[in-house]
Amino acid sequence: MTTIGLIRHGVTEWNRSGRAQGHTDIPLSEEGIEQARRVAERIASEDETWDLIISSDLSRARQTAEAIAKELGLQKPIQDDRIREMHLGEIEGLTIEDRVTRWGDNWREQELGIETKDTVAQRGAAFIEEILTQHKGKKILIVSHGGLIGLTLKHLLPEQFTETLLENTSLTILKHDETKWDCSLFNCSKHLV
C-alpha cells in the first residue's frame, strides 16, 4: 500500500485579499506560518511515519513543507515545479474586481494565458503516478496548491469528487493498493479549530 498525504500550503496575504496567485511566488503571511506550524504538529502527533516530503518550488508551499519536515525529523523537502499551482496568466495579482474593470464581466471567456484545468489535472496526476512508481509502498507527503490538488483528485477519483475546494493547510490522504486509489481523508483542517 502506498500512502500519499496531500497538503495545501498555508495562507498568504494574497489569499486574504482575493488576489490570484498562480505561479507568482508569494510567501506565507504570519497567519500562514502559524497554520504551517499547526499542521506540522498535527501530523507529528498522529501515529504515522512518513518517509519523504515533496513540495512545490513556490515559497508558500516550500515554507509549509519545511515546517512539516522539521517537526517530523525528515530531510529537507524535495522541490518540484511540476506541482506548482495553475498558471493564471494575465490575471495573476488581480482581484475579481480588477479583472472586471480591465476585461469586463466576461473576463473568464477571454484568452488571458490561463493554463487549462485539464492540463493542470493531467500534470498533477502524472506526478502522482510517477511518485507511485518510484516510491511504491512508501508514505509520501506532498505540499502543493489548492487548484492543483483539487483538479488532480477530480482526475484520479472522478466518481468521488466533483467539487474540491480546499482549506489552507488541509490534509487529504490517498492510498493505492496496487489496483485503485482510495481517499480516506479529504480536506481535513481540524488542527486549525
Which residue numbers belong to the known binding site for substrate?
8-15, 60
Nearest in space to 47 (alpha carbons), one of 72, 66, 68, 65: 72
Contact, 121 vs 151, CB < 8 A? yes
Measured distance CA(170)–CA(69) in Å, rounded: 16
Active site residue 191: no
Spatial distance between the Cα atoms of 155 and 161, rounded to a whole number of angstroms = 9
| Cα distances (Å, whole numbers) of residue 122 to 30, 73, 136 | 33, 32, 20
Annotated binding site: 8-15, 60
Q: Is 46 among the residues known to form the active site?
A: no
Indicate which residue of 30, 46, 48, 85 is catalytic.
85
Active site residues: 9, 85
